[in-house]
Amino acid sequence: MRLISMRLFSTRPASPPEGMRPRASGRRRSAVAVGVSGALIGATALVVGTAATAPSAAAATSGGIKVAYYDQWSIYQNAFYLKNLDTEGIAGKLNYLIYDFENIDPANLTCFEATKATDPDPGGESDPNAGDGAEDQFADYQKEFDASTSVSGAADVFNQPIAGNFNQLKELKAKYPNLKILLSIGGWTYSKYFSDVAASAASRQKFASSCINMFINGNIPASGGFGGAGTAAGIFDGFDLDWEYPGSTGGHVGNHVSAADTANFTALLAEFRSELNTAGSANGRTYALSAALPSGQDKVSKIQTNQIGQYLTFGDVMTYDMYGAWNATGPADEQDPLYANPNSPESKVAPGNETYSVDASMRAWTSGDSQYGIAGGFPANKLTVGIPFYYRGWTGVSAGSNHGLYQAASGPSAGMTLSGSVPGVAMYKEITNIVANSADTFWDPTTRSAYFYDGTNFYGGESAQSIQARADYVHCNGYGGFMMFSLYDLDPAATLFNDAVNDVNGSASSCTAPSGSPTPTPTSSASRSPSPSASASASASASPSKSASPSSSPSASPTGGGGTGGNKVTNPGFESGVLSPWTCTGNLGSVVGSPVHGGSHALLGAVSNSDDAQCSQTVSVSPNTHYTLSGWVNGSYVYIGVSGTGSTDVNTWTPGTGGAYSQLSVGFTTGASTTSVTIYVHGWYAQGSYYADDFSVA
C-alpha cells in the first residue's frame, strides 16, 4: 500500500513463480468456492461429484455458488465503492462477498486495527517486512462517504458509530439480506505471521478469539471519532483465512515457515470453526468459515487435504497466476490453463512430471496426486474454481505459428496506472481494447483457455468462452461453483462477472473433452452419476476419508482367486503372460514383455481410430467400503476408472507420461449392496498405443 494524503491504496505486485500468489500488497495472491446448503446461502442445491479430470457421462450438476472478493483499497485510486456493487447489479447475484484483507499484529499475534502503509509493489516484493504492522483502519471504518458514493444514498455524519467500508457493508447487507459477507485475513503480503499464530493450542486460541472479539462481536478500537465496543457487530458472517502458504517457502519473502505448518493449519481451522460455533450458539447465528487454497501441486502437498474440509463451509482454490511475466522473457503463456498441454514448454513441477493447470489442481485436492504425495479427500462440492478478472502479460512477443503462444518476450507488459503501474499485470477495464477485441482473442482447444495477442503484447486471462468452459468443468465434475478475484478489475458493465454468474447458474449442455486433449465419450463403463450429498454447513462434520495411493507398485498376483493380500485385482501385473480375466474391446489388448513397470509383462492397448482399446475386469468388493484404484500407465491420454460402484463412479487420466510409466490413482466408495465393480483402462482414439501395468484395488 502507498500512503497518499493520509489515505492508503494498494498496488498489485509483480508475481512470483508459479501459480498461486496474491496480486497486491496485503492482498491476495498469486497463484474457487463450494456447495453449501441452500438454507445457508439461498443457492441451488449442489450435487456431489468426483474430481475426475476427464468429465464422464453422468448427469451434470446445475448451478453453484458465487463468491467474489472486494478489496479494501478499491476506494482509493480506482474509486470503486461498495455502492458500485449495488448500481452495477453485482451484490444481488452473489452468495458470498469476501472483504479483504486484515493483517496479523506482529507483536501480539492477534487481529488488530491501525493505519500504516505497506511497502508498495513492485519494491515491496523484495522487502521481507513489507506488511509488518500494516493495516488500513481509515478505509475500514473512518472514511466518510458522501451521498453520491454511499450505498444508502445518504451521506455519513460525524457522530455515527462507524463509517468507512464497514458501514457501507452494513448498508449493503440491509439492502441485500441474503448476501453473506466474510472478512478475509492474510493474503500475499499479510501471511508472514500465520505460522506463529498457528504454532500452539494457546496461540491458536488467542488469535481466533481476538479476531472474533473484534470482527464478530464488533469490538473494534475507537479511533478518529468512530468505532468502539460493539460498533462493528452484525456486519460479518464469518471469516476467510488466506494463508499463503502453510509449510511452503513459495510465499512472500520473509514469511515464517515451519514443517509443523501442515498439521497446524488444520488445527487453526479447527480452532476457528469451534470458536465460531460457540459464538453462533451465543447469538443465534450460523457463521461460515472459508479458506483461500493454493493450486500448485508443490504447495497443495503441504496441506492435509483429507482433513481440512470438515472445518470449512467452502474452500477457494486459487486457480490462476499459474504463468506470468515473473518469467520476464517468456514463454508467453495462458495464465490459468484449464487442462495441461502435454507439449507445453513450461518446466515440470518438481518432484513430479506435471505442469500447472486448473484440472491438475482440482484433482489433487479431491482425488489426490501420488507424484506429489497428495492424499486428496477434499469434498468436491465444497471446492470452487477461481476466476481472475485481471490478466498476466508480456511485450515484445513474436507471432510464431500460433499468435504468440509459447513465444519468447522482451519483458513484462507495461504497467497500468490503476493496477499500480506494476509491469506484467492489467485489469480487464484497463485493456478492453485488446481483451474485448475479437480480432485479438484466441482460443486454445487443447487447454480450453483463452489468450490475447495484438501483434506485440500477449495476455493470459479470461474470455466469455473460457469462463463457459470452466463452468462446464465445474458442472461436469461436481464442484461447488466459482470464486472471482477481484471486483475492482471489472469494467462498469461488469462483463466478466456477468458471464461467470450466468454460466455457473446454468448447466453443462454436455460433458465433452477439449479437442486435442480428448476425454472419453460417455460409455456405460466410464460414466458416473453424481448423487445429492448432504449440504455443507458451518458446523464441523465428519472428516472425509483419505484416498491413499500405494507408495510402491503392487506385486504380481496369480491368475485366479481375486488377487492376493489386500489387492482385489486378479492378474494385476499380467505376469501370467495372458490377459485373462481382463477383456479388451476389439481384441486390441495383448500382453507384452516390454516396456514394463514391474516384473516381466505388461498390457499393450493398441488404440485405433475407432476404438480406444478399453480393457476391464470385474473385481469383488465389500459394501460401504472406501477403496483406491491405482495403476501404472505409459502413453498419451490414458485413463483408468471404476464403474458399478453403487455410488459415484470415477475415472482419472493423464495427457501424457513422456515415454515413461506414471502412476494414476482414484478413490471410490461402494454402495450399501455393492459386491463387485468393474475396473478399466483405455487410451483415446488415434492417440497411439498405451501400456499399463501393476493395478491395485485396495
Contact (Cβ atoms closer than 8 angstroms) between residue 67 and residue 43: no
pLDDT in tens, 281-298: 999 999 999 999 999 999
Most distant CA pair in the chain: distance in Å?
A: 86
Q: Which domains does the chain have, with CATH numbers?
A: 2-314+339-355+384-389+466-505 (3.20.20.80), 583-697 (2.60.120.260)
pLDDT of residue 553: 30
pLDDT of residue 514: 59
- The letter for the amino acid at 303 is I
pLDDT of residue 304: 98
The model's confidence at residue 548, banded by pLDDT at 50, 70 and 90, is very low
pLDDT of residue 649: 84
pLDDT in tens, 495-545: 999 999 999 999 987 786 555 443 333 332 222 222 222 233 322 232 223
Distances (CA, A) of 332 to 27, 229, 344, 373, 404: 25, 52, 11, 30, 7
| Cα separation, 105 vs 117, whole angstroms | 14
Question: Which of 247-251, 423-427, 618-622 comes out lowest in average pLDDT?
Answer: 618-622
* Cβ atoms within 10 Å, residue 347: 11
Cell 487453526 -> residue = 268
pLDDT at position 642 over 80: yes
Helices 464-477 and 358-366 pack at an angle, to 10 degrees, of 20
- The letter for the amino acid at 56 is S
What's the average model confidence in pLDDT over 391-415?
A: 98
pLDDT of residue 62: 83
Strands 583-584 and 615-620: antiparallel
User: What is the secondary structure of 555-588 as a DSSP string?
Assistant: PP--SSSS-STT---SSTT-TTSS-TT-EEGGG-
What's the average model confidence in pLDDT over 349-376?
A: 96
pLDDT of residue 653: 83
pLDDT in tens, 572-607: 999 899 999 999 999 999 999 999 998 999 999 999
Please list the alpha-helical segments (H only) found in 111-228. 137-141, 164-175, 194-197, 201-211
pLDDT in tens, 175-210: 999 999 999 999 999 999 999 999 999 999 999 999
What's the average model confidence in pLDDT over 151-155?
A: 98
Confirm whether pTM is higher than 0.75. no
pLDDT of residue 528: 28
| Cα separation, 506 vs 514, whole angstroms | 20
Question: Which of 87-96, 372-381, 678-687 comes out lowest in average pLDDT?
Answer: 678-687
- In the sheet where 583-584 sits, what is the strand order? 583-584, 615-620, 676-682, 638-643, 650-654
| Cα separation, 133 vs 392, whole angstroms | 29
The model's confidence at residue 558, banded by pLDDT at 50, 70 and 90, is very low
